[in-house]
Amino acid sequence: MKRFSETYLNKLHIGSITADSNVLMAPLAGYTCYPFRRMCRALGAGLCFTEMVSANGLKYQDRATAKLLYTDAEETGKAVQLLGCVPSAFEAACKGAYTAAFDMIDINMGCPVPNIVKNGEGCALTGNLPLASKIIEACRRSGKVVSVKFRPGMNRSNIVAAEFARMCEDSGADMITVHGRTRDMMYDGEPVYEYIAAAKQSVHIPVIANGGIDSEEAAVRMMEQTGADGVMLARGGFENPLLFAALTGTQTDATKLSLITEQLQIARRCFDELGAMEYIKKLASYFMKKRPGTKVYKQALYSCGNLPELSAILTQIFSETEG
């Protein structure tokens, strides 16, 4: 098998930004918080995006929305993903204080969730190129580097991958990420490589391939089939962040136990106790995914009532599952 690090690994030039690697971590709602981004970057991820943030929420200074943008001086390569459909709200958000610490704006034009699409946001924008163009141009006026993440269309009868990619480049985007599934596929089924390849062949800016990358074999296959400039992990990266190290050749002695122990320490610094416990329980559940006999572990995990108890349970779980 080809090794990704030996065949496809490169630095990634995005506008004025140079990412350390072309293996990126996708924005995941409810998951890609500050501690998780820190971990992925340490394991070799070139960029890690915040979970999606409402541009309109930032415009109206919504506190819950602003909390999603927690960062500090130790985080490098800061990239925020914005969601919405109003160009003026995007411009205000990009120029505002909440995003001032971030170097890069990623525009969500790929979320397939029904209530998002119903609002004309996310994947709905693939059916409205003039509005999508105005949103990109509005973000560009902030002077920040801009990328766009989108799907190839609403369904296989209406594929706009190449056309949409050209519009993104013409409107000023510095990079695009193409999720290889149409909106009606949601998160299931094999990504369609041809859709990503069509986008890649249509533009000169970097094209990142996304969808179904949960192993080194899948990452190599994605690069071979699409000709993309890099890959973006999503659920595969959350389930096994050590995949970043495998793809980038990053030397590490980390185990899932050492990773989650460190995550707990970082989460305690930037969240309250309830928030830290909620995040670590979600992360631990993903770390245990696909392992046989984890039902008992999960029951113990979710019955924890405080951080010391949670720490002890994590040690027991991952000492046994990795031993």
Strand pairing report for 207-210 and 230-233: parallel
How many helices (H) and strands (E) the chain has is answered by 16, 11
Query: Is 111 a catalytic site residue?
Result: yes
State how far the Cα of 221 lies from the Cα of 112, in Å rounded to an integer: 25
State how far the Cα of 100 lies from the Cα of 164, in Å rounded to an integer: 28
Amino acid at 166: R
> Strand locations in the chain, DSSP E?
12-14, 17-19, 23-25, 48-49, 53-54, 78-83, 104-109, 145-150, 175-179, 207-210, 230-233
- For helices 256-270 and 34-42, give the axis angle rounded to 10 degrees: 140
**Among residues 33, 48, 111, 123, which one is catalytic?**
111
Does residue 199 contact residue 152 with C-beta atoms inside 8 Å?
yes
Strand pairing report for 12-14 and 17-19: antiparallel
> Strand locations in 53-193, DSSP E?
53-54, 78-83, 104-109, 145-150, 175-179
State how far the Cα of 101 lies from the Cα of 97, in Å rounded to an integer: 8
Active site residues: 111
